[in-house]
């Protein structure tokens, strides 16, 4: 184990009191750097007495939402180039990205060289968990556009000495051929795209299980921590899959636990809070919770008490080897995506877990509608057995709900390179 890896292991094993002391020191140092230069937080935190004396005082600060960051950016001159929470003039920044825009208008994201190094350092925890070494050859199967995607993984892999194989600007067949030519051992992509690569390989009679891929690192959607989705991907590639969680606004904040029950929050670099679904009261251990994050090492475009919109179940005592809080099952879904169908809370990821258990199902699509005051769910599936009745029965057995399942022609539903968009919310 390298000295840097040993240091990361040591940090993971800090007890809760030592970890909170570390977080408080990082938070106060961040505030000292960004205030009053960051006008957004200077206004938002006016009247706060720094340094804070405990993390309890952090819980008293106002939340930050993506909506106000976007609104603030739109109100500023040169709105696309000057996000609301930027600390310094643009000349000080070295990296530009933007959010994917799946839930609204894309938000520009800037990083200084120092902040980008912080991204790289955070990613080392992800690579440790996936057991990626300098001897690996990593295929990055994404577009390399302005969405941050695996750009930070590229930099982190290079810093580790791992050979990086960029797969931008290629179709799926070409990427599979490049994996073979370069003898890639690690694949970085979304869960949706890993499934699509498996479909493409099957269509072209390529035996993925005999490929050189040994490790798969996924991000961007809940599938990496959905057991049936993970098992389908691992079976297709005969490789081990690890999940990762991050956000353009926050940074790379989560990585797979050793047992792959979910993802650990990288608490040395990010302070996490968990609010009950009502959005007001703290959540108890194992309770469904809204995730709120504060980045502790990113000064150029900081977020303090940022409402991510993600729903999770926190466990503080899940592993004797890692004291960072574990999110059981990873990110379960978005707060806006939760449906209440005849009194039952249903997440798209819960439906995915059931549908991926049918090896004959290719793709699927969920559509939520309102009927009066009630949510209604319709499911379309590509089923090689053309037998939706058995799928509906399994949904009823697992969820306690009778849901209509409709057949879609094989290969008719969309496939995805980036984040999958299988949930259409028409409520």
Domain CATH for 377? 3.30.300.30
**What's the DSSP call for residue 162?**
-
Beta pairing class for 270-276 and 163-166: unpaired
Same domain, 405 and 303: no
- At 268 the three-state DSSP class reads coil
Give alpha helix (H) positions in 16-150: 16-34, 39-44, 55-58, 66-75, 113-130
Instruction: List the Cα angle 153/156/159 in 5-degree steps.
Output: 150
Range with the poorest average pLDDT among 56-60, 290-294, 320-324, 335-339: 335-339
Q: Is the pLDDT of residue 210 over 90?
A: yes
CB 403 within 8 A of CB 366: no
Q: Which helix (H) or strand (E) holds 345?
A: strand 344-346
End position of a domain, from candidates 282, 297, 332: 332
Average pLDDT, the chain: 91
pLDDT, position 102: 55
Q: How confident is the model at residue 182 (pLDDT cuts 50, 70, 90)?
A: very high
Please provide the size of the chain in residues: 427
Same domain, 141 and 161: yes
User: How far is residue 309 from each of residues 56, 250, 292, measured CA to CA in Å?
Assistant: 22, 12, 8
Same domain, 264 and 226: yes
Q: What is the pLDDT of residues 12-52, one digit of tens each?
A: 999 999 999 999 999 999 999 999 999 999 999 999 999 99
Q: Is the pLDDT of residue 73 over 70?
A: no
Give alpha helix (H) positions in 93-187: 113-130, 151-160, 172-182
Please give the residue range of the domain that contains residue 215: 1-332
End position of a domain, from candidates 288, 308, 332: 332
Q: Is the pLDDT of residue 183 over 60?
A: yes
312 HSE (CA, 13 A, CB side):
32
Same domain, 155 and 63: yes
Same domain, 155 and 234: yes
Q: Pick from 364, 367, 368: which is nearest to 382 by CA?
A: 364
pLDDT, position 79: 47
Q: How far apart are CA 188 and CA 154, in angstroms?
A: 10
pLDDT, position 74: 55
Between residues 84 and 344, which one has the greater pLDDT?
A: 84
CB 301 within 8 A of CB 85: yes
Same domain, 372 and 310: no
Q: Is the pLDDT of residue 299 over 60?
A: yes
- What residues have CB less than 8 Å from 35, skipping those under 6 apart? 41, 42, 45, 50
pLDDT, position 370: 72
Beta pairing class for 186-189 and 137-140: parallel
Q: Is the bond preceding residue 51 a cis peptide, omega within 30 degrees?
A: yes
Structure pTM? 0.87
The mean pLDDT value for 290-298 works out to 97
pLDDT, position 78: 46
Same domain, 277 and 206: yes
Beta pairing class for 186-189 and 361-371: unpaired
Same domain, 303 and 392: no
Q: How far apart are CA 385 and CA 258, in angstroms?
A: 36
- Looking at the DSSP assignment, which residues form a beta bridge with residue 272? 293
C-beta atoms surrounding 129 within 10 Å: 21
Q: Is the pLDDT of residue 337 over 50?
A: yes
CB 372 within 8 A of CB 209: no
Q: How far apart are CA 383 and CA 221, in angstroms?
A: 23
C-beta atoms surrounding 245 within 10 Å: 28
Q: How far apart are CA 115 and CA 146, in angstroms?
A: 17
Q: How far apart are CA 149 and CA 143, in angstroms?
A: 8
Same domain, 342 and 326: no
pLDDT, position 107: 86
Same domain, 346 and 303: no
Structural domain tally of the chain? 2
Q: How far apart are CA 90 and CA 114, in angstroms?
A: 14
CB 249 within 8 A of CB 306: yes
Same domain, 355 and 323: no
The mean pLDDT value for 81-98 works out to 90
Please state, for a pLDDT cut of 70, what percent of the chain lies above it: 95
- What residues have CB less than 8 Å from 357, skipping those under 6 apart? 228, 394
Same domain, 143 and 92: yes
Residue 81 sits in a domain whose CATH number is 3.40.50.12780
Please state, for a pLDDT cut of 90, what percent of the chain lies above it: 70
Matching residue, tokens 């690192």:
217
Q: How confident is the model at residue 155 (pLDDT cuts 50, 70, 90)?
A: very high
End position of a domain, from candidates 270, 301, 332: 332
């Amino acid at each position: 184990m390298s000295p840097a890896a040993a240091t990361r292991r040591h940090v993971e094993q800090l007890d809760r009191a030592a970890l909170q002391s570390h977080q408080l020191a990082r938070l106060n140092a961040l505030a000292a750097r960004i205030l009053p230069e960051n006008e957004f937080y200077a206004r938002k935190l006016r009247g706060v007495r720094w340094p804070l004396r405990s993390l309890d005082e952090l819980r008293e600060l106002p939340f930050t939402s993506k909506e106000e960051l976007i609104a603030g950016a739109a109100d500023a001159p040169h709105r696309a180039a000057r996000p609301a929470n930027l600390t310094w003039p643009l000349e000080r920044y070295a990296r530009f990205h933007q959010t994917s825009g799946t839930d609204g208008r894309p938000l520009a994201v800037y990083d200084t060289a120092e902040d980008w190094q912080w991204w790289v350092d955070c990613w080392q925890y992800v690579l440790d968990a996936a057991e990626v070494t300098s001897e690996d050859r990593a295929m990055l199967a994404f577009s390399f556009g302005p969405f941050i995607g695996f750009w930070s993984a590229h930099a982190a892999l290079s810093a580790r000495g791992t050979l990086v194989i960029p797969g931008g600007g290629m179709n799926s067949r070409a990427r599979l051929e490049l994996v073979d030519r370069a003898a890639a051992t690690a694949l970085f992509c979304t869960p949706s795209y890993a499934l699509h690569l498996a479909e493409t390989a099957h269509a072209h009679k390529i035996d993925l299980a005999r490929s050189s891929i040994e490790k798969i690192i996924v991000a961007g959607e809940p599938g990496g921590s959905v057991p049936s989705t993970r098992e389908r991907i691992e079976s297709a590639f005969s490789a081990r899959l690890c999940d990762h969680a991050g956000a353009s606004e926050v940074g790379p904040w989560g990585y797979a636990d050793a047992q792959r029950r979910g993802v650990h929050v990288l608490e040395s670099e990010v302070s996490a809070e968990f609010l009950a679904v009502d959005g007001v009261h703290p959540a108890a251990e194992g309770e469904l919770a809204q995730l709120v994050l504060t980045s502790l090492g990113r000064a150029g475009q900081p977020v303090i008490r940022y409402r991510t919109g993600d729903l999770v179940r926190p466990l503080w005592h899940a592993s004797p080897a890692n004291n960072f809080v574990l999110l059981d099952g990873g990110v379960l879904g978005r707060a806006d995506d939760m449906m209440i169908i005849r009194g039952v809370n249903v997440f798209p990821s819960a439906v995915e877990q059931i549908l991926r258990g049918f090896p004959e199902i290719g793709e699927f699509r969920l559509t939520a509608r309102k009927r009066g005051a009630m949510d209604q769910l319709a499911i379309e599936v590509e089923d090689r057995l053309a037998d939706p009745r058995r799928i509906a029965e399994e949904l009823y057995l697992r969820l306690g709900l009778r849901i209509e399942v409709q057949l879609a022609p094989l290969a008719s539903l969309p496939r995805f390179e980036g984040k999958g968009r299988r949930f259409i919310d028409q409520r």
